[in-house]
Chain A
Amino acid sequence: MSFLARNVLRSTLRATRATKSRAYSAAQGSGSFAAEQAAIEHHAAGTTDLWRKISFYGCFPAVAVCVAWVYNAEAEHAAHEEHRKAENGGHLPEVPAFEYMNRRVKPFPWGMNTLFYNPHTNKDMEAEA
């Protein structure tokens, strides 16, 4: 009998302190994990729609406008380069060989040119060596 009384007392005490001491308990009721989670989900449903609108009606048009702008800027740049080439007998004017330009103390592990070497814009250091 005493065993039963002890168990009843123990579970009553546990029930009263449960919500206080265990904030991570998944028990129902206000302040519980489940209630907090439900509130977060409810809030997230609204913000998802907000960010969907920002993404599809804000970002996509902005990217489209920017692509058009950049396309024009790059086309203008290319036309200018062609003009400079035409003025200079078919190739771009040579940049003076300043001491701090095209520094090579030793070759790169793969050769004399950089990994992003482009014969139209960079000096061919393979030919220089």
Chain B
Amino acid sequence: MTKNYIKMNNKIKFQYFPYHLVDPSPWPILLSFSLLTFTTGAVLYMHGFNNGGLVLTLGFLLTSSGMALWFRDVISEATLLGCHTREVKNGLMLGVFLFIVSEVFAFLSVFWAFFHSSLSPAIEIGGSWPPLGITPLDPFAIPLLNTILLLSSGAFITYGHHALIAGNRKAAIDGTLLTIIFAILFTGLQYYEYSEAGFTMADGVYGSAFYASTGLHGLHVIVGTIFILVGFVRIVNYHLTKSHHQGFEAAIAYWHFVDVVWLFLFLAVYFWGGA
């Protein structure tokens, strides 16, 4: 009787498949409501409703803490519980690439808005692009430097990534840290450029299209920097190994996507749209 019980119990403990069946988790439903609060708060705040700022702050705190708690679970599953088998990693990476495809379409819509207004400029804005009275930014000044900074950061992250796979801890840390420094420099220069620009977001369709496209990209750079920073902290804390660093690879894929979007922005919005 006892022997059979032990045999059964061991059979239950052994997993015959490579997939990861997640435990019941409160985070998806919590995060859904947090995101609803966050976006509703943003609309209320921007349209001047009472306490809109309070709802926005609450939504932000709920969303960011919900994300942190969810990611903490994923990190313990990956690093401590060994749930990330090859099969699970393939599924996660597929998810990352599908997410990036959805991001491509989000950027497609702002590019569409930009080309819609710039390819045949309306008579109300002087029938020209840039519209009359708008002094565009010189593409071969800070935007060019930003291009070089982003391209270099793409090389640094590859250096760090390959070093991680090769088991070269110091080089992995160096490469990732350099990427983060260049990413922060990029954001700082964009802030400077926004402050020095002679036009604002409220200067007709040029201002709207310029700040919507470069601003959406800027937010992605900030998120990508945090994404790589998480990978960096995990490398320093020995979470990531030569063969298990899925989160870091997702951050790298995301970073290259952000980099490519910038190249299109530089060519279309800064160079062609500012000439």
Decide: A52 near B171, CB < 8 A? Known: A59-B152, A122-B198: yes
Judge whether B48 and A100 touch: CB under 8 Å: no
Contact with A118, one of B18, B46, B195 (Cβ below 8 angstroms): B195
**Contact present for A102 and B200 (CB under 8 Å):** yes
Docked complex: B8-36 residues within 8 A CB-CB of A: 18
Interface size classification for chain A:
35 or more
Bound: A122/B86 CA distance, A:
55
Q: Is the CB of A63 within 8 A of B203?
A: no
A33 vs B18: C-alpha distance in the bound complex, in angstroms? Answer: 14
A122 and B48 contacting across the interface, CB-CB below 8 Å: no
Q: In the bound complex, how far is the Cα of B85 from the Cα of A107, in angstroms?
A: 53
Hey, which chain B residues are within 8 Å of A114, CB to CB? 200-202
Residues of B close to A59: CB separation below 8 A: 148, 151-152, 155-156
Which stretch of B67-75, B134-142, B223-231, B260-268 is in the interface? B134-142
Name B195's contact: one of A44, A60, A109, A116 (CB within 8 Å).
A116
Q: Mark B128-165, 1 if CB is under 8 A from A, else 0.
A: 00011110001011101100110110011011001101
* A37 beta carbon closer than 8 Å to chain B: yes
**Which of A77, A96, A101, A121 is within 8 Å of B141, CB to CB?**
A77
User: Within 8 Å CB of B124, what residues of A?
Assistant: 99-100
Docked pose: A10 CA to B133 CA in angstroms = 84
How far apart are B66's CB and chain A's nearest CB, in angstroms? 25
**Which residue of A has the minimal Cβ distance to B189?**
A70
| Residue A15 interfacial (CB < 8 Å) | no
Contact B132 A98 (CB under 8 A): yes
Q: Does A7 contact B (CB under 8 A)?
A: no
A82 within 8 A of B: no
**A residues in contact with B45, CB < 8 Å:** 109
Does B59 touch A at the CB level, under 8 Å? no
Q: Please report B residues at the A interface, Cβ cutoff 8 Å.
A: 18, 45-46, 48, 52-53, 85-87, 124-126, 131-134, 138, 140-142, 144-145, 148-149, 151-152, 155-156, 158-159, 162-163, 165-168, 171, 175, 178, 191, 194-198, 200-205, 242-243
Residues of A within 8 A of B (CB): 24, 33, 37, 40-41, 44-45, 47-48, 51-52, 54-55, 58-60, 62-63, 66-67, 69-70, 73-74, 77, 95-96, 98-104, 106-107, 109, 114, 116-118, 121-122
